[in-house]
Chain A
Amino acid sequence: MRRELSDLFVNVGRVENLVEAKALTKHFGSFEAVRGIDVEVRRGEAFGFLGPNGAGKSSTMRMISCVSGRTGGDLKVLGMDPEREGPKIRARLGVVPQLDNLDTELTVRQNLQIYGRYFGMSRQRCREKADELLEFAQLADRADHEVEPLSGGMKRRLTIARSLVNDPELLLLDEPTTGLDPQARHLLWDRLFRLKQDGVTLIITTHYMDEAEQLCDRLVVMDGGRIAAEGSPSELIGRYSTREVLELRFRPGAEKPDLERFAERVEVLPDRLLLYTVDGEQTLATVHEHGVRPVQSLVRRSSLEDVFLRLTGRTLVD
């Protein structure tokens, strides 16, 4: 639905790295939100920025979306410098902000058409594009309803549809599914997969690890304005975690045994021990043999969440 043959010719000689950042920094007064990051996003991939609140993800996204200027370092988006060619770059980007900023007193269709006009598209083209996107976002039956009373999931779908009005080469999604119910999240993931299939490059920030594992080919974990790790989800799990995790729960306040020798790594939490190991069942059997009696035990696959918590710590960030 998206790419026409003529686009292929237009794009001959196009850049292969859609985003290239070197030693990129962003300061707000004395606060250093981004402290020198190197990032490359390749054409056609889905790239993720993970990190706790305040890690610098959104600041980075705002710089890539050519809305906010950089403090230092180099940044190229679609091969151009945002400082000099912001409007030209933005004409080829799609942006899904963290908080919906739809025109809630207009209809669903009007939101799409007006956004198309912002890109300088003809009214005729805006009408056609709106029809197409209404189908894509499964909102055709709501086309002429006002936006305000729509559910959170529908608004989010509309925001994503709106970001596609200019057939962007690069789509930036800032926490696209935060606050949605599971049905709405899965529907959105489905739509994002389809976009990726169609050749759209995606950049996603999220703090849902399952979302990152579902969607991202490659990701960076950010913490305190820096990049703590980079790789594909499975590479990161391989590098920073083990295949499986054994969770042992003890009675609150009970003394926890020292099990360091039975696992590659043990993490001590208030009433739980996490044993990082290749074979969780085997490790469980071994600790049982040594007389350890937890009130509950659980063997699970290691996930990106384990990597994330290892890299960014368990301290609450507010």
Chain B
Amino acid sequence: MQTLRASWFGFEKTWTWYRRNWRATAVSGFLTPVLFLVALGLGFGSQVRSTALIGGVPYLQYLAPALAVVTAVQGATFEATYPVLSQFMWQKSFVAMVATPITPAQVLYSQMMWIGSQMLLRSVVFVGVAAVVGAAAGPGILWAVLFATLAGLAFSAPLVAYSATLEKPEAFTNIFRFVMMPMTLFTGAFFPVSQLPQWLLPLVWLTPTWHGIELSRGAAFGTLGLLPALGHVAYLVALIALGMALGVKFFHRRLAT
């Protein structure tokens, strides 16, 4: 209870910042995903023949629930890198927080709360727009909000922990290039992963995006079985738990030694 309260105060601070500065992230957070949906789903999709492999639905509807997931993971990746390092090194807000009754672990929780709420907010907006432009096959697309947020947290939790170990931001560029980018393009959002070479699949299965897409798309089209669903959720939750456990350790090391 105490922990939740303390973490909430940290969340409040970021929210206060956001209320003043939300315009700075509005384009990347809300507009870009919608532009992708319009350009690829509506524009490019108008030239794509629906096949059995994509479930026989229009490409726009095939794309939308998955795009919610990849954009959430992208957004979470950004939130888990520069802003985290900055609050250790440049702004030092985390350093200021642990001089109060707030503990390093609670600082981490407040940060994860913030990332989760951001992904939730963005996914709600995205799914709303998707419904308006006819990208929703049915009410099942609402599940995308939950699964996109979950996938975003699953990737950002270990990444936040990693960011807490860094002294300079150069490593982030490599994460964007060599992890986030392929994870966006080759985990089944834009085309079925069965089109990939066999040997790549185990790598795909490791990514939180693939699990998120399986969940989100399966829920949207009503093809998701209970057992696979539990399996995917368990994997994502395990990543969050692992990331947070490491995060608690690294936040403590960074802020309290």
Whether A238 sits at the interface, judged by CB under 8 Å, is no
Q: How far is the CA of A97 from the CA of B95 in the complex (A)?
A: 9
B100 x A90 contact (CB < 8 A):
yes
Name the interface residues of A84-141: CB closer than 8 Å to any CB of B: 86-88, 90-91, 93, 95, 97, 99, 101-106, 110, 114-115, 117-120
Q: Determine if B13 is an interface residue (Cβ-Cβ < 8 Å).
A: yes
Instruction: Kindly provide the distance from the CB of A17 to the nearest chain B CB, expressed in whole angstroms.
Output: 22
- A106/B99 contact (C-beta < 8 A), A28-B257, A68-B257, A118-B9 known: no
A69 part of interface (Cβ distance < 8 Å): yes
Q: Which of A68, A91, A106 contacts B20 (CB 8 A)?
A: A106
Q: Does the CB pair B255–A104 fall under 8 Å?
A: no
Residues of A within 8 A of B99 (CB): 65, 67, 90, 93, 95, 97
A22 to B6, alpha carbons, bound, how many Å? 32
Interchain nearest-CB distance for B167 vs A (Å)? 15
- Which of chain B's residues have a CB closer than 8 A to the CB of A106? 16-17, 20
Q: CB of B91 within 8 A of chain A?
A: yes
| Complex Cα–Cα for A69 and B13 (A) | 27
Q: Give chain B nearest CB distance to A122 CB in angstroms.
A: 12
In chain A, residues 60-89, which have Cβ atoms closer than 8 Å to a Cβ of chain B?
65, 67-69, 86-88
Secondary structure at chain B's binding surface: helix, strand, loop or mixed? helix
Q: How far is the CB of B23 from chain A (nearest CB, A)?
A: 13
Which of B6, B17, B101 has the most chain A CB within a 10 Å cutoff? B101
Report the minimal beta-carbon distance from A58 to chain B, rounded to whole angstroms: 13
What A residues does B16 contact at CB under 8 A?
106, 110, 114
A99 contacts B13, CB within 8 Å?
Answer: no
Interface residues on A, range: 20 to 34
Per the bound structure, the CA–CA distance linking A114 and B16 in Å amounts to 9
Instruction: Assess whether B49 is interfacial by the CB under 8 Å rule.
Output: no
B103 contacts A87, C-beta separation under 8 Å: yes
Interface size class of chain B, counting residues whose CB lies under 8 Å from the partner chain: 20 to 34
**A99 and B255 contact, CB distance less than 8 A:** no
Write out the residue numbers on chain A whose beta carbons fall within 8 Å of the beta carbon of B9: 114, 117-118, 120
A93, A120, A166: which contacts B5 (Cβ < 8 A)? A120
Beyond A87-B103, A103-B17, whether A118 also contacts B255 by CB under 8 A is no
CB nearest to A110 among chain B residues? B16
Interface positions of B from 89 to 132, Cβ below 8 Å from A: 91-93, 95-103
Write the chain A residue with the least CB distance to B99: A95
Tell me if B20 and A67 are in contact (CB < 8 A): no
Residues of chain B within 8 A of A67, CB atoms compared: 98-99, 255-256
Q: Give the 5 A-B residue pairs with the shortest CB-CB distance, closest first.
A: A101-B92, A118-B100, A87-B101, A95-B99, A101-B96
Given A91-B101, A120-B5, 14 more pairs with CB closer than 8 A? A67-B99, A69-B257, A90-B99, A91-B100, A93-B99, A101-B92, A103-B93, A106-B20, A114-B9, A118-B9, A118-B97, A118-B101, A118-B102, A120-B9
List 12 A-B pairs, Cβ < 8 Å. A67-B256, A87-B102, A87-B103, A90-B99, A90-B101, A97-B95, A101-B92, A102-B96, A103-B17, A103-B93, A115-B100, A118-B9
